[in-house]
Amino acid sequence: MTADRMVLMNPGPVNTDSAVRAALAGPDACHREAEFSELQRRVRRKVVQICGAGDSHASVVLTGSGTAALEAAITSVPPADAGLLVIDNGHYGRRLLEIARCYGIRVRHLEFGWGVYADPAVVKRALQEDPWLTHTVVVHHETSTGMLNDVRAIAGVTREQGRISIVDAISSLGAESLDIIDDDIDWVVGTANKCLEGMPGISFVCGAKAAFEDLEQNQARTYSLDLSRHYKAQEKNGFPAFTPSIPIFYAFDVALDLALAEGRAARGARYRRLAERLREGLGRLGLQVLIDPQHRSVVLTAVRLPASLAFEELHRGLKERGFVIYAAQEHLSGSYFRLSTMGHIDDGDIERFLASLESLLSTWELV
């Protein structure tokens, strides 16, 4: 049996509102016409609002997945002589390091280990030890494990030490508490298709207008991901530098309206309710969650696989019942799986998921 609607428990792309899907079928349009310029202006403004800022800030919206926006920020923000402190406690922290290394950016790799809390005091000490470090980069929600890092504290020590922070908020923005101004963050990177519940294909970088202006002094490391180029095109000329994915823009515009109408706190509370319901149910089935309760996000739960069960078998059984679950990455892949509570899903979906999981486990005599 294949359900009409798959419940996506992979951490993005997520189930979307029908209004978001319908928006994809908007009119054919030229990106160098006033209609698109106006749409881009609206979307860029709403992204700034989602990040917690107003007229002092701007966003650059890119066609590309979240990694494209990360690559744009990491390659465009630090000048040639910069030093980047990469805070790493999982797969996505490691990706930040790989991007920086790809471009020969001088880095210090501050590795905590997967699922280990990134202690802001250790970050502070690293910045004090190494005066050549000029920037920090950190993942807010480490989607490989479900660990929520204290970006407010990390951005706080970064600013206190006179450095610049870049935050990968790709899987947190829109649901977890994050505010570019109140949290002293310099640059926020996000994407359309996770907690903002849009379609995949658009990502963005938000920062202060003055900071965007200053990027002009940097020698560009890339052509198509140069933030300064995109800022000038979008902010000054009002048009994109290159051809954007127009249908994804239509959908993102609607998704942003829904996100702003629901509000960050209410969306976070909705995800928390689903995550707690899920975790209670997993506990009843004797399944263990990777991260300690005080560091868990509302977005993702990494769960230990029962000893004799292969992920592929569990995945197949649940998919037949209408649920897509996600493998863990790298060294966790044989022993854990991941369940996201992002997107347009509800309590009924979680209850049906738990019932399906229970019936599968009992078929295999694992409960």
Ligand X SMILES: *Cc1c(COP(=O)(O)O)cnc(C)c1O
Number of amino acids touching ligand X (CB under 6 A): 12
Interacting span for ligand X (CB under 6 A) from 163-171, 213-221, 289-297, 329-337 = 163-171
Query: Between residue 177 and residue 216, which ones bind ligand X under the rule CB under 6 A?
Result: 191
The string of DSSP letters for 271-303 reads: HHHHHHHHHHHHHHTTPPBSS-GGGB-SSEEEE
Alpha helices in 60-182 (DSSP H): 66-76, 91-102, 120-129, 151-160
Q: Which is nearer to ligand X, 40 or 65 (CB)?
A: 65
Among candidate residues 160, 13, 145, 135, the one with its CA nearest the CA of residue 77: 135
Contact residue for ligand X among 36, 92, 252, 337 (CB under 6 A)? 92
Q: Which is nearer to ligand X, 302 or 360 (CB)?
A: 302
Residue type at position 38: E
Q: What is the smallest separation between the CB atom of 99 and ligand X, expressed in angstroms?
A: 10
- Quick one: how far is CA 313 from the chain centroid? 28
Contact residue for ligand X among 8, 9, 10, 12 (CB under 6 A)? 12
Q: Does 271 bind ligand X (CB under 6 A)?
A: no
Residue in the block written with tokens 């502070």: 124
CA dihedral 287, 292, 293, 297 (to 10 degrees): -90
Give Cβ neighbours of residue 317 (< 8 Å, ≥ 6 apart). 356, 360
CB-CB neighbours of 131 under 10 Å: 10
Q: Does 168 bind ligand X (CB under 6 A)?
A: yes
CB-CB neighbours of 12 under 10 Å: 25
CA distance 236 to 282: 52
Q: Does 327 bind ligand X (CB under 6 A)?
A: no
Q: Which is nearer to ligand X, 141 or 344 (CB)?
A: 141
Task: Collapse the DSSP code of 127 into the 3-class scheme (helix H, G, I; strand E, B; otherwise coil) and give the result.
Answer: helix
Q: What is the smallest separation between the CB atom of 144 and ligand X, expressed in angstroms?
A: 8
Q: 163: which 2 tokens?
A: 């450095």
Q: What is the smallest separation between the CB atom of 360 and ligand X, expressed in angstroms?
A: 27
Q: Which is nearer to ligand X, 332 or 357 (CB)?
A: 332
Contact residue for ligand X among 10, 65, 136, 145 (CB under 6 A)? 65
Q: Which is nearer to ligand X, 299 or 360 (CB)?
A: 299
Query: Between residue 116 and residue 145, which ones bind ligand X under the rule CB under 6 A?
Result: 139, 143
Interacting span for ligand X (CB under 6 A) from 41-49, 63-71, 107-115, 270-278 = 63-71
Q: Residue 194 gets which letter from DSSP? A: S
Q: Which is nearer to ligand X, 333 or 362 (CB)?
A: 333
Interacting span for ligand X (CB under 6 A) from 33-41, 164-172, 204-212, 334-342 = 164-172
Q: Which is nearer to ligand X, 72 or 318 (CB)?
A: 72
Task: Collapse the DSSP code of 244 into the 3-class scheme (helix H, G, I; strand E, B; otherwise coil) and give the result.
Answer: coil
Q: Which is nearer to ligand X, 171 or 234 (CB)?
A: 171
CA distance 147 to 225: 29
Task: Collapse the DSSP code of 26 into the 3-class scheme (helix H, G, I; strand E, B; otherwise coil) and give the result.
Answer: coil
Q: Which is nearer to ligand X, 65 or 158 (CB)?
A: 65
Q: Does 10 bind ligand X (CB under 6 A)?
A: no
Interacting span for ligand X (CB under 6 A) from 59-67, 262-270, 336-344, 359-367 = 59-67
Give Cβ neighbours of residue 210 (< 8 Å, ≥ 6 apart). 56
Q: Which residues bind ligand X (CB under 6 A)?
A: 11-12, 65-67, 92, 139, 143, 168, 170-171, 191
